[in-house]
A and B are shown apart, each in its own frame.
Chain A
Amino acid sequence: MVMSVNLVFMFFVFYRRLSRARYFTEKDAARDRYFAPAESFGRGDLSVERAAEVFGSASSHAEIDTVEQLLRQRITPVNLVATTELFFALGFVERWARASFGRRWKKLVERSMRKEHASLDLTVKHPPFWGTLGKFRLLAVPRALALDNLGRLAPAYAEVFLAEGLKDPSPYVRRIAIENLGRNRFPQAVPLLLEELRKAVEEGNDVSLRTMKAALVGYQIEDCNLFVPYITHQARRVRFFVVDTLREICQRAAGEGLLAKNDFSPTFCRVMLEHATTDDFADVRARSAWVIRHFRDEQTKEALRRLMRDENEFVRLHAVRAAGHRAYLDLTQDVVARLTDTRWRVREAAVGSLARLGTVGLDELYRYFVTCPDAFACEQITEEVQRKGLVDDLVGALMSGVEEAALARAVIQKMAMMGKTSLLIDALASTTHSNARISLMECLATSPNEELLAVLEMIAQTTSGVVKSRASQILHQSSSNLQIKSATSGVN
């Protein structure tokens, strides 16, 4: 019995191998046949009618899959509508709609062809039997895959299918509907998606919050106005997710080009500045800093200043990070003030922001560091100086103008005093510029350690001239200082 089942299994393994090999051979042949027509259709050289005739000859499973794949790979915003029409003409849309919606497919295809807008009705109750059966993955996965195909049609055609998909009992299908609604950026889908978001926040939803957020983040900067009514929504977590989504949208847009207040509507700016930055939920205030930073006006500066002094650590953290932009040089002192924050994350953010402000910010940071009595703040600053690769700049500054060199010297001496010398000693060993080397030796010699002595010895042995003599001199002084120090610490 077991042996016969084993034989069936083995037979199936090879049967599957062979059938797959046959399928791919057929696919390769189909690719050779349809590649050129697909290329010319993608370029717009072939009309939909003519293409339907050419591709209509595909009859086997492998050929149909190949045609579908070839056409999909060549979709551009320019030929999306034509490709959709071709999918209709080839009967693909009908096949997908049948797989997704069963008997309802015909009506939906007709509505889609008329480019009807979807209804916003979300109060669908499935009969208990269908509700349970429809959730089975065995049935839901083919529906979800077919809906994904429908969702990638031109937005005007896809809308009806996606809205219908949202009413499906399976979370798999609903997830695909939500993802595609976001990808297609239907303005009328925003309330729908936000309603799903609200359900996820307040009642629980079978589709994850992250999926919902990813769909909303798909919208563009010009769609921000659609979110305005939700910035003041009564549920605080809905407000948070909305502002956080806006933050993501703005960040992405800012990556493509500098944003300014004119990129947003006056209502949007007003609601953000007046409501979001003063929201009673700290997470909303925190995320709002990232949105308003793109406004770059006096009112924003005031708001950021206020947020940097907020009682909540995360609000301060986000506000400090948001202020790390050259447009907010006026806020440099406010950022510097956060270097002594009680929370290390805020201190870290402040150092990062000052570094992002360029020379002005860094000079402020170094000046503060040299005089700062707060050990935690100093530790944070040295960490960021090392991680951001600023040590090389400091060593370079030793050879610059008097003021700059003096500041660099003071910073290095303080770092040496704190024992944060690993990178500086590395720089001493590797730098080839004599003046910089001598300056660095002198700075580090104020707080010598064993590693420094080893490097000084190496320099004294391998160099010549001024560097050699200075290294030997400092080595002599430093080793006696170190001996005295260890002897004293032993007595004490």
Chain B
Amino acid sequence: MHSAWLHFFDYVNTIILVYFLVANAVYTVLMVISLYAVSLHSKFAAKIGYADLSDSPVTPPVALIVPAYNEQDAIVQTVESLLVLNYPEKEIIVVDDGSSDETAMRLIRHFQLQRMDLVYRPAIPAKAPFAFYHNAKIPELILLSKENGGKSDALNVGINMARSPYFCTVDADSIIEKDALLRLMAPIVHSNVNTIVSGGVVRIANGCTLENGQITEIHLPKSWIERCQVVEYIRTFLFGRPGWNFLDATFICSGAFCLLQKESVVLAGGFSTDTVTEDIDMIATLHEYMRRKKYKYRMVFTTDPICWTEAPHTLDMLARQRRRWQLGLIQTVMKHNHMIWNPRFGLMGMLSMPFHAYIEAIGCVVEAAGLILLPFSFLVGAMPFSLFLMLMFLAVGYGTLLSIGSVLLAEATVRRYPSYRDVLILLLFALIENFGYRQMVAFIRAHGVFQYFYGRRKWEAVVHKGLEPSLEGSGD
């Protein structure tokens, strides 16, 4: 082969090798840290409990903000799950973001809401609501209707309407466990530093049984695509995020269930509409704002507050979701790129941001390229067999260790799947998702990166089929 091509393959293979070495090294460190932090937290939380917090007058009030766009199938059960939350003082603000379906009507009918003419005082710019609905018998619930403006805009309207010092963002298709909000608030109450963000775990509800707005039986979903996502979620929420939290460098908190301090968010300008993942952007913005102002603050992530959400059922929907996440991540990283390698931002700037930028945001392109180029360069004789094996091991084999390790951590701490069969299936999928599924997701994510460079900024809607019809034993 021409020597120029051989040089090219040498360079490319070196980049791929470095990428996999760095990524796997960081994941391994995070895995060890998480094992330590999560198991101790679970032990402490299981014994001490949250009963004191539930009765305590020092537990701050929280506004639960639910932005909803065409969520007619899920919205009622979500609000019901919020109404039964065990929390001393809460307000629930549902923002109907110009839905074209029956989202608002179903809420109005189910909760007997009446239209009222309330006062709206905007602290953050957003499209003003044109109608307010309330029922004096359910004083904690308010429904706002506004013109469509996107999720960020709907969240900003909710913040403007909230009266509590903290607010929790909740996705309209999510089910929050009864004690989850209390658990989310616990680190804020017990922190000696101003804690402005507290994130919890999101788990997949597909396959579970739902009754009266609460998950009553936990099972694995039936299709392989959903099962792979279950493993993926466990790995992300039990491995990655607790590790970054331990290093005090949290960069991602899922907007499906995240508690934020209202004052800090308002001062930072609210949720921005220039990225498609407003949650990641908000965290980065808050880091930036607090560091610039030299305020002492903390962002925490804990593994026991759990929010259940519906995962995409089809490949097409999964691809849409992942492309959007990747596009949002890269938009956020580029928006805040001055934080990368900036010592002023501490571990956030020196470790977390570079990792998320180079490994999580752009790395998928290297990964996807590697998956094509490695076999190709081996086949054309540009790579020795030993190196090919090592790279394939780094690309695929090491992933099995991380996935099975995450199932082990889940088993040692949260133990959400009661049946042996489910655990066995989970372990099986932890193994096999590394042979096909992960590679497929890498290609989808790489597509998301290319979308950014094409200039695409649009939100790709993911259509959920709703939890209830798929439930076992729901009486349907």
Q: Which residues of A line the B interface, CB within 8 A?
A: 2-3, 5-6, 9-10, 12-14, 16-17, 137-138, 141, 144-145, 148, 171-172, 175-176, 179, 183, 200, 204-211, 213-214, 217, 248, 251-252, 344, 379-380, 382-383, 386-389, 419-423, 426
Q: Contacts A179-B52, A217-B58, A388-B136 given; indicate if A422 touches B114 (C-beta within 8 A).
A: yes
Among B37, B47, B56, B408, contact of A217 (Cβ-Cβ < 8 Å): B56
Among B56, B139, B192, contact of A171 (Cβ-Cβ < 8 Å): B192
Within the complex, the shortest CB–CB distance from B462 to chain A, in Å, comes to: 32
Check B57 against A248 for contact (C-beta < 8 Å).
yes
**Known contacts A175-B190, A422-B117; 15 further A-B pairs (Cβ under 8 A):** A2-B400, A2-B401, A13-B427, A16-B411, A141-B40, A141-B43, A145-B44, A148-B48, A205-B192, A214-B56, A344-B119, A383-B117, A383-B119, A386-B118, A422-B116
Check A6 against B57 for contact (C-beta < 8 Å).
no
Q: How far is the CA of A213 from the CA of B190 in the complex (A)?
A: 11
Q: Which residue of A lies closest to B403 (CB)?
A: A6
* Residue of A179, A210, A421 contacting most chain B CB atoms (<10 Å): A210
| B28-77 contacts to A (CB < 8 Å) | 36-37, 40, 43-44, 47-48, 52, 56-58
**Inter-chain contacts of B118 with A (CB < 8 A):** 383, 386-387
**Inter-chain contacts of A252 with B (CB < 8 A):** 57
Does B121 sit within 8 A of A, measured CB to CB?
yes
Q: Indicate with 1 or 0, residue by residue over B374-403, a CB within 8 angstroms of chain A CB atoms.
A: 000000000000000000010001101100
Check A426 against B114 for contact (C-beta < 8 Å).
yes
Q: Which residue of B lies closest to A251 (CB)?
A: B57
| Between-chain CB contacts (< 8 Å), 25 pairs | A2-B393, A2-B398, A6-B400, A6-B401, A9-B405, A13-B408, A14-B423, A17-B423, A137-B40, A141-B40, A145-B44, A145-B48, A171-B192, A175-B190, A208-B190, A210-B189, A214-B56, A252-B57, A380-B119, A386-B116, A386-B117, A387-B134, A388-B136, A389-B137, A419-B117
Check B47 against A9 for contact (C-beta < 8 Å).
no
| B166-219 contacts to A (CB < 8 Å) | 189-192
| B116-166 contacts to A (CB < 8 Å) | 116-119, 121, 131, 134, 136-137, 139
Q: Which residue of B lies closest to A389 (CB)?
A: B136
- The interface on chain B, measured as residues whose beta carbon lies within 8 A of the other chain's beta carbons, has a size of 42
Q: Contacts A2-B393, A2-B401, A5-B401 given; indicate if A426 touches B115 (C-beta within 8 A).
A: yes
Main secondary structure of the interface of A (DSSP, over half): helix
**Inter-chain contacts of A382 with B (CB < 8 A):** 117
Check A6 against B43 for contact (C-beta < 8 Å).
no
Does B431 sit within 8 A of A, measured CB to CB?
yes
Q: How far is the CA of A79 from the CA of B256 in the complex (A)?
A: 46
**Inter-chain contacts of A423 with B (CB < 8 A):** 114-117
Within the complex, the shortest CB–CB distance from B91 to chain A, in Å, comes to: 11
Check A6 against B115 for contact (C-beta < 8 Å).
no
Does B404 sit within 8 A of A, measured CB to CB?
yes
Within the complex, the shortest CB–CB distance from A150 to chain B, in Å, comes to: 13
Q: Contacts A171-B192, A200-B192, A380-B119 given; indicate if A214 touches B44 (C-beta within 8 A).
A: no
Q: Indicate with 1 or 0, residue by residue over B392-426, a CB within 8 angstroms of chain A CB atoms.
A: 01000110110011011001100000001001000
Q: How far is the CA of A176 from the CA of B49 in the complex (A)?
A: 12
Q: How far is the CA of A16 from the CA of B114 in the complex (A)?
A: 53
**Inter-chain contacts of B398 with A (CB < 8 A):** 2
* Residue of B119, B189, B420 contacting most chain A CB atoms (<10 Å): B119
Q: How far is the CA of A62 from the CA of B405 in the complex (A)?
A: 28
Q: How far is the CA of A214 from the CA of B53 in the complex (A)?
A: 9
Among A2, A205, A214, contact of B397 (Cβ-Cβ < 8 Å): A2
Check A213 against B58 for contact (C-beta < 8 Å).
yes
Q: How far is the CA of A386 from the CA of B139 in the complex (A)?
A: 11
Q: Contacts A6-B431, A217-B57, A389-B137 given; indicate if A211 touches B190 (C-beta within 8 A).
A: yes
Check B412 against A16 for contact (C-beta < 8 Å).
yes
**Inter-chain contacts of A5 with B (CB < 8 A):** 401
Check A13 against B411 for contact (C-beta < 8 Å).
yes
* Residue of B47, B58, B393 contacting most chain A CB atoms (<10 Å): B58
Check B44 against A141 for contact (C-beta < 8 Å).
yes
Within the complex, the shortest CB–CB distance from A341 to chain B, in Å, comes to: 15
**Inter-chain contacts of B43 with A (CB < 8 A):** 141, 145
Q: Which residue of B lies closest to A385 (CB)?
A: B116
**Inter-chain contacts of B40 with A (CB < 8 A):** 137-138, 141
**Inter-chain contacts of B58 with A (CB < 8 A):** 210, 213-214, 217, 248
**Inter-chain contacts of B423 with A (CB < 8 A):** 13-14, 17
Q: How far is the CA of A144 from the CA of B45 in the complex (A)?
A: 11
Q: How far is the CA of A251 from the CA of B40 in the complex (A)?
A: 37
Q: Which residue of A lies closest to B396 (CB)?
A: A2
* Residue of A211, A251, A252 contacting most chain B CB atoms (<10 Å): A211
Q: Contacts A16-B411, A144-B44, A383-B118 given; indicate if A208 touches B192 (C-beta within 8 A).
A: yes
Q: Which residue of A lies closest to B191 (CB)?
A: A208
Q: How far is the CA of A5 from the CA of B32 in the complex (A)?
A: 14
**Inter-chain contacts of A248 with B (CB < 8 A):** 57-58
Q: Contacts A9-B408, A380-B119 given; indicate if A386 touches B44 (C-beta within 8 A).
A: no
Q: How far is the CA of A141 from the CA of B405 in the complex (A)?
A: 23
Q: How far is the CA of A137 from the CA of B119 in the complex (A)?
A: 48
Q: How far is the CA of A206 from the CA of B427 in the complex (A)?
A: 41
Q: Which residue of A lies closest to B296 (CB)?
A: A204
Within the complex, the shortest CB–CB distance from A252 to chain B, in Å, comes to: 7
Within the complex, the shortest CB–CB distance from B294 to chain A, in Å, comes to: 16
Within the complex, the shortest CB–CB distance from B288 to chain A, in Å, comes to: 25
Among A137, A171, A208, A387, contact of B116 (Cβ-Cβ < 8 Å): A387
Q: How far is the CA of A252 from the CA of B117 in the complex (A)?
A: 34
Q: How far is the CA of A208 from the CA of B60 in the complex (A)?
A: 14
**Inter-chain contacts of B192 with A (CB < 8 A):** 171, 200, 204-209
The 4 closest A-B pairs by CB, nearest first: A389-B136, A422-B115, A420-B117, A386-B116
Check B44 against A10 for contact (C-beta < 8 Å).
no
Q: How far is the CA of A34 from the CA of B417 in the complex (A)?
A: 30
**Inter-chain contacts of A148 with B (CB < 8 A):** 47-48
Q: How far is the CA of A148 from the CA of B115 in the complex (A)?
A: 50
**Inter-chain contacts of A17 with B (CB < 8 A):** 411, 420, 423
Q: Contacts A211-B190, A421-B117 given; indicate if A176 touches B48 (C-beta within 8 A).
A: yes
Q: How far is the CA of A176 from the CA of B405 in the complex (A)?
A: 32
Check A387 against B139 for contact (C-beta < 8 Å).
yes
Within the complex, the shortest CB–CB distance from B409 to chain A, in Å, comes to: 10
Q: How far is the CA of A172 from the CA of B191 in the complex (A)?
A: 11
**Inter-chain contacts of A379 with B (CB < 8 A):** 119
Check B48 against A387 for contact (C-beta < 8 Å).
no
Check A13 against B407 for contact (C-beta < 8 Å).
yes
Within the complex, the shortest CB–CB distance from A171 to chain B, in Å, comes to: 7
**Inter-chain contacts of B116 with A (CB < 8 A):** 386-387, 422-423
Within the complex, the shortest CB–CB distance from B220 to chain A, in Å, comes to: 15
Within the complex, the shortest CB–CB distance from B162 to chain A, in Å, comes to: 14
Q: How far is the CA of A13 from the CA of B413 in the complex (A)?
A: 11
Check B393 against A208 for contact (C-beta < 8 Å).
no
**Inter-chain contacts of A12 with B (CB < 8 A):** 408
Q: How far is the CA of A426 from the CA of B58 in the complex (A)?
A: 39
**Inter-chain contacts of B139 with A (CB < 8 A):** 387
Within the complex, the shortest CB–CB distance from A306 to chain B, in Å, comes to: 27
**Inter-chain contacts of A387 with B (CB < 8 A):** 116, 118, 134, 136, 139
Q: Which residue of A lies closest to B411 (CB)?
A: A13
Q: How far is the CA of A9 from the CA of B115 in the complex (A)?
A: 57
Q: How far is the CA of A179 from the CA of B56 in the complex (A)?
A: 11
**Inter-chain contacts of A206 with B (CB < 8 A):** 192
Q: Which residue of A lies closest to B115 (CB)?
A: A422
Q: How far is the CA of A141 from the CA of B114 in the complex (A)?
A: 50
Within the complex, the shortest CB–CB distance from A84 to chain B, in Å, comes to: 19
Q: How far is the CA of A388 from the CA of B114 in the complex (A)?
A: 12
**Inter-chain contacts of A10 with B (CB < 8 A):** 404, 427
**Inter-chain contacts of A183 with B (CB < 8 A):** 52
**Inter-chain contacts of A137 with B (CB < 8 A):** 36-37, 40
Q: Which residue of B lies closest to A418 (CB)?
A: B117
Q: How far is the CA of A422 from the CA of B131 in the complex (A)?
A: 10
Q: Which residue of B lies closest to A344 (CB)?
A: B121
**Inter-chain contacts of B36 with A (CB < 8 A):** 137-138
